[in-house]
């Protein structure tokens, strides 16, 4: 991708239609700055150029902007991992997408994230938006889906039958506890578990206000108050003969503070503990627990990695994958991004923050 010289512009200025506006972070901790650049071009045969119509905010965006997570070079950061929009150009080798397609994608932040009007992304990280879905709903999907997928394939090391050339061998847990069921990643993991293991007992924790969504919409077998003092015994009692669960997926780092949660394991099971990297220290686990820390950047380690967004496109077409969490549109354009980041810094509960771009 090619970016020519940048110039900082005020929000009052009218931007030419042939220019791109990037919402740049010049250095760690600084504010977003709208910056006019040339529209990026597709230089690789596998590139897709997307005009952004909606951008979802992730906790990772704040961590990248405020603390430099993922940032390895000294150049300006273009944050934003999630987005949806319209295809403007495709590389010579792209066959699945054409100009005008409505798509959603995971973007390569911090080098060329979705916090801009136009962005280039590898075709394997793009999927077609269902015609009946809004750009805002579609923008909320990619990162939480991909991270949830890794919680199954890398965290639990289980087969994922709906991914072409995906993992086919491994543990098939009969019960899984998802810590953080009302988070975007947790709500996605619950759906993928149900698809991969239709008869698995799926239990999840959240604040009680989200239990209805977890049970009625996402189909967990039982939801538990994440702050209850009887959480561990309640979880055990929900399993056959109160044996406990075979695996735990912890997407919110709950195990760092809730040490007794490992007592929820069936002592005779594989005791797989899948932990999403949240930016904090890795959770230490008791002897006998098999812990795997992973992040979305580990995707290439998953077999079938190049097909994962295509798989999501198929699941959406077949109505097998739902919007994990309700979407809250927080605003438009630059002001919307600033507001979304500020809301995310204070924490969200059971919803996905999305910004509309024009
Ligand atoms: N390393 C990576 O590649 C990667 C990728 C994606 C996400 N992540 C990380 O994974 C985490 C989750 O991401 P996300 O987008 O899913 O977050 P999110 O939707 O913003 O998470 C908010 C939710 O976390 C829940 N929560 C917080 N502490 C909890 C606890 N102790 N037990 C149960 N639930 C708890 C809250 O539940 P209630 O409101 O119901 O209380 C809230 O609904 C973040 O730290 C994010 O940075 C990392």
pLDDT above 90: residue 11: no
> Does residue 166 contact residue 307 with C-beta atoms inside 8 Å?
yes
Can you tell me the mean pLDDT for 173-198? 98
pLDDT above 90: residue 72: no
Q: What pLDDT, on a 0 to 100 scale, did the predictor assign at position 73?
A: 81
d(CA 295, CA 19): 34
Q: Which residues contact 74 (CB under 8 A, 6 or more apart)?
A: none
> Does residue 202 contact residue 190 with C-beta atoms inside 8 Å?
yes
The four Cα atoms 151, 109, 57, 63 give a dihedral, to 10 degrees, of 80
Edge-to-edge, what's the strand order for the sheet holding 222-225?
222-225, 201-206, 175-179, 247-250, 272-276, 290-294
Beta pairing, strands 32-38 & 19-25: antiparallel
pLDDT above 70: residue 352: yes
**Ligand 1 site, residue 218, Cβ cutoff 6 A:** no
Q: What pLDDT, on a 0 to 100 scale, did the predictor assign at position 217?
A: 97
Q: Which residues contact 153 (CB under 8 A, 6 or more apart)?
A: 160, 163, 166, 167, 302, 303
Index of the ligand 1 atom closest to the CA of residue 298: 3
Can the peptide bond before residue 110 be classed as cis, meaning omega within 30 degrees of 0? yes
Q: What pLDDT, on a 0 to 100 scale, did the predictor assign at position 10?
A: 42
pLDDT digits (tens, 9 = 90+) for 264-318: 999 999 999 999 999 999 999 999 999 999 999 999 999 999 999 999 999 999 9
**Ligand 1 site, residue 58, Cβ cutoff 6 A:** yes
Using 50, 70 and 90 to split pLDDT, how confident is the model at 12? very low
Tell which one of 56, 82, 185, 347 to mutate to probe ligand 1, the residue whose CB is within 8 A of the most ligand atoms: 185
- Which domains does the chain show, CATH number per domain? 7-140+325-356 (3.90.180.10), 144-301 (3.90.180.10)
Going from the Cα of 275 to the center of ligand 1, the distance in angstroms, rounded, reads 11
Record the tokens describing residue 277, joined without a space: 């990297």
Going from the Cα of 284 to the center of ligand 1, the distance in angstroms, rounded, reads 18
Going from the Cα of 304 to the center of ligand 1, the distance in angstroms, rounded, reads 26
């Amino acid at each position: 991708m090619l970016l020519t010289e940048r110039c900082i512009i005020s929000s009052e200025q009218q931007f030419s239609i042939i220019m791109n506006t990037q919402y740049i972070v010049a250095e760690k901790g600084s504010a977003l700055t709208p910056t006019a650049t040339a529209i990026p071009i597709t230089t690789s045969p596998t590139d897709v150029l997307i005009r952004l119509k909606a951008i979802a905010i992730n906790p990772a965006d704040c961590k990248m902007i405020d603390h430099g997570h993922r940032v390895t070079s000294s150049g300006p950061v273009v944050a934003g991992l999630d987005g949806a929009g319209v295809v403007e150009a495709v590389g010579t080798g792209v066959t699945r997408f054409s100009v005008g397609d409505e798509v959603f994608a995971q973007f390569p932040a911090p080098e060329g994230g979705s916090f801009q009007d136009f962005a280039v992304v590898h075709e394997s990280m793009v999927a077609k938006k269902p015609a009946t879905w809004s750009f805002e709903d579609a923008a909320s999907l990619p990162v939480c889906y991909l991270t949830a997928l890794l919680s199954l394939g890398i965290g639990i090391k289980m087969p994922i039958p709906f991914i072409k050339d995906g993992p086919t061998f491994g543990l098939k847990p009969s019960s899984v506890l998802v810590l953080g069921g009302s988070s975007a990643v947790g709500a996605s993991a619950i759906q993928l578990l149900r698809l991969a293991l239709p008869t698995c007992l799926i239990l999840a924790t959240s604040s009680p206000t989200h239990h209805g969504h977890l049970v009625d919409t996402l189909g967990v077998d039982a939801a538990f108050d994440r702050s209850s003092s009887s959480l561990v015994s309640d979880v055990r009692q929900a399993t056959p003969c109160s044996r406990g669960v075979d695996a735990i997926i912890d997407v919110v780092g709950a195990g760092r503070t809730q040490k007794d949660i490992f007592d929820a394991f069936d002592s005779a099971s594989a005791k797989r503990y899948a932990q999403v990297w949240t930016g904090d220290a890795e959770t230490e686990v008791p002897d006998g627990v098999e812990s795997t820390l992973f992040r979305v950047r580990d995707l290439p380690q998953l077999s079938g990695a190049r097909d994962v967004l295509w798989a999501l496109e198929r699941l959406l077409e077949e109505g097998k994958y739902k919007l994990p969490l309700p979407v809250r549109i927080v605003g438009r354009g630059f002001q919307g991004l600033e507001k979304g980041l500020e809301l995310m810094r204070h924490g969200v509960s059971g919803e996905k923050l999305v910004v509309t771009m024009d």
